[in-house]
Amino acid sequence: MKTTATYKENTTAAATTNACKVCSPLGASVAFKGIKGCVPLIHGSQGCSTYIRRYLISHYKEPVDIASSNFSQDTTIFGGHRNFNKGIDNIIRQYKPEVIAIASTCLSETIGEDIKGLISAYKAQHKDEPLPHFVAVSTPSYQGTHMDGFHEAVASIVAAFAERRFKRSHINLFPGFVSPEDIRHLKEILEAFGIEAIILPDYSESLDNPNWEEYHRIPPGGTSVNDIKKTGSAQASIEFGHILNLGNINNSVNDSKVNPTGAAFLQNNFGIPNMRIGMPIGIKATDLFFEKLEGIAQIKTPEKYTKERGRLIDAYIDGHKYVFGKKAVVYGEEDFVIAMMMFLDEIGIEPVLCATGGESGKAQDRIRQLTGNSKLTILQGMDFETIASLSRELKPDIMIGNSKGYYIARELNIPLVRVGFPIHDRMGGQRILHLGYKGTTQLFDSICNALIEYKQNNSPVGYKYM
């Protein structure tokens, strides 16, 4: 007998407790860390940049330098131009960056700071000096989540640098907010197809470094400015995501004035076709990605990946008895949750609650369209206290999401499979592979093993064989 939640999907809460999201400038900072030689600057209070650094360091286990213009009470009243200029001076002196990327905060947006104007004024004051490139993005957290900030940053980067003057010998790949391991895997796949691609952003090295003998103020790696310029001359773009930050606009995506993502900007302003697909998690979604690559490269999928697909199918068969009919609560970013829902639909797990902190208003319809599940409870703009309350009613067998839901899994005494961002209570969050046949196999194994371990640990007699 199916259990249904009593919470209505369109209920508006007066307040949230432990929101199922993090702040917009954090997402922008991750995107900026994927640009070669870039130092992010948070135009706001010191607490904003400290919070972002701590969050990212905890997940990626790497040093993450993010500058701050350090707003005070006086700055809030009289404006932040002096702090802005001093912050830029300090960054140039200490880091000698190729790019300074500025993200606004709730405070700087509320007092009406014109960041582009501040940049123009700074350039005018230093017109006889060599200066780094500048990028600015509007990311007040009251207007979106970390995913909105991420996509806004990528769109701003492309808009700042893309040019038409290069040879069209490559494609653009916009993978979204995935793990460094995911990006490295995508590079391997593209190389196997012989496809030259510009990946934006690429933080596969800058947020997952090898051990250094000497400290680097700016970690190596990232998409270079020259490569970002080439995005305006690509054959096509591939963009992962059904929702992205399209919920932040009311206009048609085809409107040339609307550029919610980097790939949309290039399509609208440079005529570069945008192949938008979901995140390639699961067989169906990964098949679609490889079909796109086959069309671009004009070759069949290399044998290495047809074998990976075959091993994934074999894993589905081997583990079907452990997962079929199990009930799951899934939570996280909108596009990641949609990808996970399609994957769970493939393997026979019944999602009883799908929750996201995103507020696009598009997730419900998209999930139901892709899965055909009209009875599933899908909640947007959610906090973890609501997820906890509903989970007590729904009695799931497993939770799938980031570390922030651990206390719910602990209370319910069910396993939590940690995926996505942030992973704060385990090692290797930056090395979780989610994408492709290989990533899906690892996810499937993790889910199966979590369920087996739970049954084993709670068995009155214990057993050594499955």
Task: Write the pLDDT tens digit of every residue in 161-207.
Answer: 999 988 888 999 999 999 999 999 999 999 999 999 999 999 999 99
pLDDT digit string, tens, across residues 62-121: 999 999 988 876 666 656 788 899 999 999 999 999 999 999 998 888 888 899 999 999
CA–CA dist 108, 436 (Å, integer): 40
Positive or negative, the CA dihedral 130, 36, 30, 150 is positive
- DSSP class of 415: -
Tell me the two tokens of residue 374.
Answer: 């009209």
Q: Which residues lie across from 329 on neighbouring strands?
A: 353, 399
Residue 362 has pLDDT above 90, yes or no: no
pLDDT reading at 11 higher than 90: no
pLDDT single digits (tens) 38-63: 999 999 888 899 999 999 999 999 99
Model pLDDT, residue 463: 79
CA distance 248 to 152: 10
> In the predicted model, what is the mean pLDDT of the chain?
90
Q: Which two tokens stand for residue 408?
A: 């719910």
Tell me how far apart the alpha carbons of residues 395 and 399 are, in angstroms, rounded to a whole number. Answer: 10
Q: What is the pLDDT of residue 189?
A: 98
* pLDDT above 80 (res 27): yes
pLDDT at 77: 60
CA dihedral sign, ordered 457, 463, 464, 466: negative
The H-or-E segment that residue 40 falls in is strand 38-43
Preceding amide of 201 cis, omega within 30: yes
Whether the pTM exceeds 0.85: the reply is yes
Would you say 5 and 394 are in contact if contact means Cβ atoms under 8 Å apart? yes
Provide the 8-state DSSP code for 194: T
Place of tokens 């979780």: 432
Rg (CA), the chain: 23
190 residue type, one letter = L
Instruction: Delineate the domains of the chain, giving CATH numbers in brackets.
Output: 24-277 (3.40.50.1980), 303-457 (3.40.50.1980)
The amino acid at residue 256 is S
DSSP 8-state symbol, 83:
H
Tell me which H or E stretch contains 393.
helix 384-394
CA 321 vs CA 244, 315, 316, 444, 460: distances in Å: 35, 11, 9, 13, 21
Tokens of 320: 């079907």
**Whole-number Å distance between alpha carbons of 209 and 219:** 8
